[in-house]
């Protein structure tokens, strides 16, 4: 039902009211979750196609809701982005990833690069110093941290964004471009970004090998990456056919359910040791 207008005054229907209440409920719930340890991270490994070695893992946030169970990020990150609360979520995630990296380091596990998703609202001039400070506090090498930024981050004030990227790259932290090809960022800027890796979005991987357009887009991204001397990773790899295509086309790395779902830290650690990922 839509809002009904009479004499220029909008009356909101029950449905619209519920939508608004739902948002407010999620927002205050998330605020509470941040302060009460209800957020947690799962880790999904990334592998080198060439030799099958693990090269890193992406940290993906979940909300362990007391009544609703494990809530996926799609159900709260967009709202957190709209309200700005994503900045606090991002601070929590970086802190939690670095704390985890320190635990794994002290346990003697071979270090792997942990990737954190950073949303556009977090990508401010304050970010490089915060990253540097967090790494220092946990006594971590910058090379073991990666930030995944989406194309949408690049759409606002590009010169400022490049400046922030340069300062992060100068720390020795790697940057990758997530959801590549889904936004509107200009290819002419691509060569100016101090990025390490282009990430082929799952929406393209899904169509491989049946959809000729998705295959063309994936191979084009791979060839752009090669020519610009970036690495390229495909996300959302679910089938051996997709894997075969990516290998044949020269993709460097893969991530997806074919190899592993995102795992809670304990399971991830066990898999590292038992499956010989390390």
What H or E segment, with its residue span, contains residue 154?
A: none
Q: Which phi-psi region, left, alpha or beta, contains residue 188 (left: φ > 0; alpha: ψ -120 to 50)? A: alpha
Using CB under 6 A, which of 72, 84, 250, 264 touches ligand C2E? Answer: 72
153 is written with which tokens? 């981050």
The CA distance from 14 to 169, in Å, is 50
Minimum gap (Å) between residue 179 Cβ and Ca ion? 4
Taking the least distance from each CB to ligand C2E, the nearer of 12 and 152 is 152
Which among 20, 152, 136, 142 has a CA at the least distance from the CA of 86?
Answer: 152
Using CB under 6 A, which of 74, 107, 187, 212 touches ligand C2E? Answer: 74
Q: Does residue 148 bind Ca ion (CB under 5 A)?
A: yes
Taking the least distance from each CB to ligand C2E, the nearer of 86 and 127 is 86
Q: Identify whether the C-beta of residue 46 lies closer than 8 Å to the C-beta of residue 112.
A: no
Residues contacting 197, CB < 8 A, separation 6+: 146, 174, 175, 176, 177, 225, 230, 231, 232, 233, 252, 253
Minimum gap (Å) between residue 136 Cβ and ligand C2E? 21
Residue span 240-259 as binding mask against ligand C2E, x where in contact by CB under 6 A, dash where not: ----------------xx--
Minimum gap (Å) between residue 268 Cβ and ligand C2E? 13
Q: Does residue 178 bind Ca ion (CB under 5 A)?
A: yes
Q: Does residue 77 bind ligand C2E (CB under 6 A)?
A: yes
Give the number of other CB atoms < 10 A from CB of residue 216.
12
Cα-only R_g, the chain:
20
Q: Does residue 202 bind ligand C2E (CB under 6 A)?
A: yes
Taking the least distance from each CB to Ca ion, the nearer of 32 and 178 is 178
Q: Does residue 238 bind ligand C2E (CB under 6 A)?
A: yes
**Residues 79 to 138 in contact with ligand C2E, rule: CB under 6 A:** 86, 90, 93, 117, 119
Question: Under rule CB under 5 A, how many of the chain's residues touch Ca ion?
Answer: 5
Q: Identify whether the C-beta of residue 142 lies closer than 8 Å to the C-beta of residue 174.
A: no
Q: Identify whether the C-beta of residue 131 lies closer than 8 Å to the C-beta of residue 146.
A: no
- For tokens 């970036």, name the residue: 230
Using CB under 6 A, which of 262, 263, 272, 277 touches ligand C2E? Answer: 262
Q: Identify whether the C-beta of residue 76 lies closer than 8 Å to the C-beta of residue 40.
A: no
Taking the least distance from each CB to Ca ion, the nearer of 31 and 238 is 238
Contacts with ligand C2E by CB under 6 A lie at 44, 60-61, 72-74, 77, 86, 90, 93, 117, 119, 178-179, 202, 235-238, 256-257, 262
């Amino acid at each position: 039902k839509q809002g009904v207008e009479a004499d220029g005054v909008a009356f909101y229907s029950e449905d619209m009211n519920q939508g608004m209440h739902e948002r407010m409920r999620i927002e205050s719930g998330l605020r509470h979750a941040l302060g009460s340890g209800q957020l947690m991270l799962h880790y999904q490994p990334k592998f080198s196609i060439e030799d099958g070695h693990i090269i890193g893992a992406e940290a993906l946030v979940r909300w362990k809701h007391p009544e609703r169970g494990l809530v996926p990020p799609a159900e709260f990150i967009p709202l957190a982005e709209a309200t700005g609360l994503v900045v606090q979520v991002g601070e929590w995630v970086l802190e939690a990833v670095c704390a985890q990296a320190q635990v794994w380091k002290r346990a003697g596990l071979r270090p792997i690069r942990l990737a954190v998703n950073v949303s556009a609202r977090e990508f401010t001039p304050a970010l490089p110093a915060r990253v540097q400070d967090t790494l220092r506090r946990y006594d971590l090498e910058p090379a073991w941290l990666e930030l995944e930024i989406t194309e949408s981050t690049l759409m606002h004030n590009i010169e400022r964004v490049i400046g922030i990227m340069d300062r992060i790259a100068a720390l020795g932290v790697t940057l990758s471009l997530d959801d590549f090809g889904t936004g509107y960022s200009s290819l002419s800027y691509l060569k100016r970004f101090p990025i390490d890796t282009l990430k082929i979005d799952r929406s393209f991987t899904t169509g491989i090998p049946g959809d000729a357009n998705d295959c063309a887009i994936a191979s084009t991204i791979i060839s752009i990456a090669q020519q610009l001397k970036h690495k390229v990773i495909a996300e959302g790899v679910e089938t051996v056919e997709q894997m075969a295509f990516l290998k044949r086309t020269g993709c460097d790395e893969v991530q997806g359910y074919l190899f592993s779902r995102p795992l809670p830290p304990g399971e991830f650690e066990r898999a590292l040791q038992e499956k010989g990922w390390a």
